[in-house]
């Protein structure tokens, strides 16, 4: 009896909603949205859109309400549907970019933001978001090209200076990077300044000093993006794998899509034969940098370790096709060929490795002589 009564109540409620004028439903949605009652707003927007599917503003508002509740994939669907009806709407395109950004689809966000930057090259929000996306993707040259003219216009903008300085130091442009670093240091000791100092020392292979600066940066601001990622790399390069793992885990706890932390922690997990955990991190890294060869090489090495020989062979061949000088990939491909009983192919890859190593040794000898 109670079930029947509840069902009847739902039917009556739906009938009452159907009797409302569409404009009244929309007004209820907007009122609920402004009051922060997002669930009610979402329900009313959707009810309105069943009657007025062409209403771009209402669909955009629905996307915003969904994004505010963290339902980014649903928000993306609504924004894209709105853009079908209003393809050159800058505000909706920006919201779509933000939804991709906040859902950690950095590559998609960068694509959308690059298009918006071409449309409005002076939009500061777009510049900051695009710069951050490219920085996360390791596109340092693009960051430098994007931010250099902006930094010249306003040398007091520390956010721009910090991103540009990071890209310059990572791109080994030490002299220009040092100029920006010196300006940041004039503001006093800060986590950002320590992180840039640590990055410069890490590039110079000065691991103890780099670790000291990076630890100080983490102490000053444990939530500073990339601080534990760089600390983990410094610890890893200095041989302290346990400390490196702890640092990478801290970075990923606050920034799950940090590329270097995902990749390097995956390498450490692979060494511990935690192949499932490593593969999960590599898949996440590929969301940030699709097709990255370092990641694909690690995927292949896991396939090889798990005995998935044909998959490993195909993966390594794909890497080598794009990077013929990738020595480790040739070594691993040779191993895959031998385990597949393809001795002739394995011998060919070994010969390639010997040739590449001889060329590398010759370059190092010329460098020493100079």
User: Quick one: pLDDT at residue 170?
Assistant: 80
Please give the structure tokens belonging to residue 30: 């907007």
Q: Residue 3 pLDDT > 50, yes or no? A: no
User: Quick one: pLDDT at residue 367?
Assistant: 65
Report d(CA 141, CA 62) in Å as an integer: 37
Scanning 157-226, the segments in alpha helix (DSSP H) are 158-170, 174-186, 191-203, 207-220
Q: Residue 80 pLDDT > 70, yes or no? A: yes
pLDDT tens figures, 199-226: 878 877 888 888 998 999 999 889 988 8
pLDDT tens figures, 94-142: 999 999 888 878 888 999 999 999 999 989 889 989 988 898 888 889 9
CB atoms within 10 A of CB 294: 20
Q: Residue 4 pLDDT > 60, yes or no? A: no
pLDDT tens figures, 39-52: 998 999 899 889 88
Range of the domain at 349: 291-362
- Could you tell me the pTM of the whole model? 0.66
Same structural domain, 169 and 232 = no
Q: Is residue 252 part of a domain?
A: yes
Q: Is residue 195 part of a domain?
A: no
pLDDT tens figures, 335-357: 999 999 999 999 999 999 999 88
Scanning 187-292, the segments in alpha helix (DSSP H) are 191-203, 207-220, 227-238, 241-254, 259-271, 275-288
CATH assignment at residue 150: 1.25.40
Q: Are 204 and 177 in contact (CB under 8 A)?
A: no
Residue/partner pairs of 308-311 with CB below 8 Å, 24 or more apart: 309/336, 309/339, 309/340, 310/340
Of 162, 188, 214, which closes a domain? 188
Number of structural domains in the chain:
4
Mean pLDDT of 4-22: 50
CATH assignment at residue 95: 1.25.40.10
Of 257, 281, 305, which closes a domain? 281
Report d(CA 87, CA 218) in Å as an integer: 43
Q: ∠158-159-164 over CA atoms, to 5°?
A: 95
Of 250, 281, 312, which closes a domain? 281
């Amino acid at each position: 009896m109670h079930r029947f009564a509840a069902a009847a109540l739902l039917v009556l409620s739906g009938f009452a909603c159907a009797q409302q004028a569409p404009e009244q439903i929309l007004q209820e949605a907007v009122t609920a949205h402004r009051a922060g009652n997002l669930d009610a707003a979402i329900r009313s927007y959707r009810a309105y859109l069943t009657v007025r599917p062409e209403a771009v503003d209402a669909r955009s508002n629905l996307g915003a309400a969904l994004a505010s509740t963290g339902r980014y994939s649903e928000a993306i669907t609504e924004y894209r549907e709105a853009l079908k009806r209003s393809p050159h709407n800058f505000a909706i395109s920006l919201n779509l970019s933000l939804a991709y950004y906040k859902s950690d689809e950095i590559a998609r966000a960068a694509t959308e933001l690059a298009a918006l930057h071409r449309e409005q090259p002076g939009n500061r929000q777009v510049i900051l978001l695009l710069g951050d996306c490219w920085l996360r993707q390791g596109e340092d040259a693009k960051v430098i090209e994007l931010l250099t003219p902006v930094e010249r216009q306003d040398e007091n903008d520390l956010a721009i200076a910090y991103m540009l300085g990071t890209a310059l130091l990572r791109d080994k442009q030490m002299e220009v990077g040092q100029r920006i670093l010196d300006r940041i240091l004039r503001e006093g000791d800060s986590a950002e300044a320590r992180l840039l100092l640590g990055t410069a020392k890490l590039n110079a292979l000065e691991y103890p000093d780099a670790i000291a600066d990076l630890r100080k940066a983490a102490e000053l601001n444990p939530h500073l993006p990339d601080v534990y990622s760089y600390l983990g790399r410094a610890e890893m390069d200095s041989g302290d794998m346990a400390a490196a793992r702890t640092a990478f885990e801290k970075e990923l706890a606050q920034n799950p899509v940090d590329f270097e932390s995902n990749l390097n922690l995956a390498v450490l997990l692979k060494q511990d034969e935690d192949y499932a955990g490593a593969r999960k991190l590599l898949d996440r890294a590929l969301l940030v940098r699709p097709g990255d060869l370092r990641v694909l090489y690690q995927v292949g090495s896991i396939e090889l370790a798990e005995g998935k020989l044909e998959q490993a062979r195909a993966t390594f061949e794909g890497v080598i096709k794009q990077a013929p000088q990738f020595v480790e990939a040739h070594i691993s491909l040779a191993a895959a060929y031998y385990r597949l009983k393809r001795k002739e192919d394995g011998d060919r890859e070994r010969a390639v490795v010997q040739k590449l190593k001889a060329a590398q040794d010759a370059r190092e000898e010329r460098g020493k002589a100079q």
